[in-house]
Amino acid sequence: MNETHFFNRRTKLLDLMEEGVAIVTAAIPALRSNDTEHPYRQNSDFYYLTGFDESNSLLVLIKTHNETKTILYVEANDEQYALWNGARHGIEKAKERFDVDDVRNIKDFPDQIKDLLREHVNLYIDLFDDSEALSEAKLAARLLRETRGVKRHIRSFRDITHLIRSMRLVKAPEEIETIRRAVALTADAHHIAMKRSRVGMKEYQLQAEMAYVFVNGGGHTEAYGTIVAGGNNANTLHYVDNRDELRDGELVLIDAACEVELYASDITRTFPINGRFSEAQREVYNAVLEVQLRVIEAIKPGVKRDWLQTYSEELLCDALINLGVLSGERDALMEAKEHKKYSPHGIGHWMGLDVHDPCPYVDEAGEALAFEAGMVMTIEPGLYFRVDDESVEEKYRGIGIRIEDDILVTDDGCENLSAMIAKSVEEIEEMCSR
């Protein structure tokens, strides 16, 4: 991705804004414990507009009836900071790199904010961002209101994230390309896990095999906490403990994926630890797989996301009836939400700079959005039968299966970006045998 991409996004955001001032801040470093921090992860909205990965910086966009202005506030380079942490861009290098109208020292922001807000009526901010810089801005807006002689003053705080996240919903070609790179590394990692899985290993050992692929391949980091869930652990949806043993005759559910240049992938595969599905495992696996394939087949521009959710639940309900887990009429079972006990989560979510991309799911009128080419979402049906659940046949107890792929909506349908990852029973058993 290059500066032209980021410049174009800032320009589009200014187009979407009414007159006013917008402030988008960098992420605040997160403390891990005492004086150690988590690895820094930039605020996705800020990154989307700048491609800038430094903390303590912010972007100001100004729009009046006849002009626009973009200002990037950054930290000046500092010798002591550079000694411990490496050099920052500093003001001069940032000026060279970014096609903004001005680059200024972040230290000057508190003094300059009042001038920046003078004469404007709208202040666009992330209403949930409690960074210091925004507190300054809100305070300045309040002070200006009380200042005599100012003809205009901030009258409304507006949510900037809604505009940015609406833009993030349809991915540009360079974003899709980056997601493809993340998916490619993730595909290698899932295949390694299938090849290396052995009875008696610990779940964290498969996690380590995958982490090696991510880091060795230049992946930034995991896109979310890796789930390696052997046997009944798969029925804990956000199982991240990964310290149990992998046992003979059980499945392992792996929901793991990497991030590349801050873009996520999000993939789940479930496979037999010893390399061969049992009859009962194969029945449940194929039931989930059929749902997943049929849902993916239904994705094309114009289809509404809420329809897809209902459709997927109908298919899961049918699967549960076919497996003999539920009995009765599908509509009545759906009405009573009986299927939710065995499949409690949604069919998928937007994916991009965040694994759960916080883009809108409904339009301005509150109606479910229809798919458009360039949207990326996961499709991840699952069936979960807890080991102590006596409402299901004994042979199914302890089986938890989810199959998750990353889907790009195209002009005439969709493309499964993770189609290269072994998924049918035959493909998985073949990969496990290598």
Cα–Cα separations (whole angstroms), residue 147 to 10, 151, 156: 31, 10, 17
* Total residue count of the chain as it appears in this document: 434
Interface with ligand GLY, residue 259, by CB under 6 A: no
Which of 75, 380, 405, 406 forms a contact with ligand GLY (CB under 6 A)? 380
The answer to whether residues 399 and 280 touch, using CB atoms and an 8 Å cutoff, is: yes
Interface with Mn ion, residue 405, by CB under 5 A: no
Interface with Mn ion, residue 266, by CB under 5 A: yes
DSSP run (H or E) holding 248: none
Q: Give the interface segment with Mn ion, choosing from 260-268, 282-290, 367-375, 408-416 (CB under 5 A).
A: 260-268
94: three-class secondary structure by DSSP: helix
Interface with ligand GLY, residue 224, by CB under 6 A: yes
Interface with ligand GLY, residue 405, by CB under 6 A: no
**Residue with smaller CB distance to ligand GLY, 240 or 370:** 240
User: In angstroms, what is the minimal distance from the CB of 238 to ligand GLY?
Assistant: 8
**Residue with smaller CB distance to ligand GLY, 247 or 340:** 340
**Residue with smaller CB distance to ligand GLY, 253 or 422:** 253
Q: How many residues bind ligand GLY (CB under 6 A)?
A: 6
Q: Which amino acids are annotated catalytic?
A: 35, 238, 255, 266, 345, 349, 356, 380, 384, 402, 404
User: In angstroms, what is the minimal distance from the CB of 96 to ligand GLY?
Assistant: 38
Phi and psi at 20, nearest 5°, equal: 155, -170
Angstrom distance (rounded) from CA 60 to CA 72: 6
Burial letters 387-425, b for 16+ CB under 10 A, else e: eebeebeeebbbbbbbbbbbbbbeeebbbbbbeebbbeb
Interface with ligand GLY, residue 266, by CB under 6 A: yes
Which of 175, 255, 261, 313 forms a contact with Mn ion (CB under 5 A)? 255
Cα–Cα separations (whole angstroms), residue 286 to 263, 312, 327: 31, 15, 19
**Residue with smaller CB distance to ligand GLY, 338 or 380:** 380
Interface with ligand GLY, residue 255, by CB under 6 A: yes
406: three-class secondary structure by DSSP: strand
The contacts of residue 54 (CB under 8 Å, 6+ apart) are 26, 74, 75, 88, 89
The residue ranges that bind Mn ion (CB under 5 A) are: 255, 266, 378, 404
